Chains A and B, each alone.
Chain A
Amino acid sequence: MYFGTRTDERTSVEILDRFVDAGGTMIDTSDNYSFWSDPSGFGGQSEAVIGRWLAARPGMRDRVYLSTKVGAQPVVPGGYPDNLEGLSAATIKNAVQRSLGQLGTDHLDLYWAHVEDRSVPVEETMDAFGSLIADGVVGRIGCSNWPTWRVEQARHAARGRPGFTILQLMHSYLQPRPSAPVAFQSQRFGWLTDETLDYATTVGLDIWVYSPLLKGGYVHRDRLTDAYDHVGNTRRLAVLDLVAAELETTRNQVVLAWLVGGEAPITPMVGCSSVAQLDEALAGVRLTLNAEQRARMDAAV
């Protein structure tokens, strides 16, 4: 989310207004958006824009489901990914106050552990998050870019207190080759896997997925790196084009419909930098595939 960095404040506000006018309700940001696009080397611009937008629209805060994240803000400019704020109790306590201040609100509907922090005992992290829920500062907690076994460990450690009930990972219809590096994915365990789907459906976790449109890769093939080159994706693109033609819609919209309507409860998160992209995405999540179309899309591997 590039509000306040690549996307200027005027455009950001336009997108936000149109989003809620069109019935959009969920806004996800992070305390570190977008450190990589800001001269300061730190994030926070996105939360600040959203905070000013909320302040200028009385009553709006109650109409949106607001989430932000902690853990992956660089401690020093250039510190990502080795020198991050992490998930200690002290960091979580300070970071949530800073985020609340930036967003101009007294509570978050959902608070995310943005990355893992294995230098901190998982009990400490879960205690800190649990206190925020107990105090009513955050509604629920989730984790992003964690492997399933660590999530299970954290949920075990939280026993008696609320634990993570939602996962955020990268997922889309096309998949890269095994172990081939993908430029826009720096997190080793940032991928949704078949194991994630099994874990989430078995124990009852929600799944949000990021970069579902592969940074524009369905429209601009040059944005898909070599890792996406394999016959499984060739087959998937062919089916995707067929289904898009049948529904007289775009590839992006079919991908969003495929994610939303599957067996597992997946919520795709779309980063928009223009109103046109937003309109396309909103129409996509409202699209429904029939069972035959879904089966054909699933069968292509």
Chain B
Amino acid sequence: MTDELEQLYQTTYTAVVRFLYRKVWDAERAEDLAQEVFVRALAHRPDKPRAWVFAVAANLARDEARAAMRRKRHLTLLKGDPIAQPTVSPSADILVEHDERVASVQEALSTLTPRDQEILLLWDAGLSYPEIATQTGLAMGAVGTTLARARRRLVEAHDRQHAKGSHAAHS
């Protein structure tokens, strides 16, 4: 049982980190969450560990996004204080590490609906159609439809940006 999990850890850890990273955009945080996912798997011993691991990862990422929203609302930094405001933007330093091309893919991905994003990322993480269907509640037939749309939109959005970018560079 545990050996199975260990094997899963060896084979899918990187995919889980990548999956999480594409949701939280913070490499360190993605690793923390990925480890948390496997720690939980050790405690739960799920029947279908691979699908379970990604389901939990998706939930953690969702919680994370909600917490970030809350934080934005609640961390009211006071204006008019004699000293400059701190810039609390978690993604700022990460964005620096990215080159423009990466940022453009990130932006293209963000134009997709959350559902399309989710399914595309699950597919890219190596989940099969039945696994994706089970996790997202989609019908098997709808997975292909969603993936077809998501892929098209991602590439289109990216090309649009690219065209815009090169146009701006020429003018």
Binding between chains A and B: no
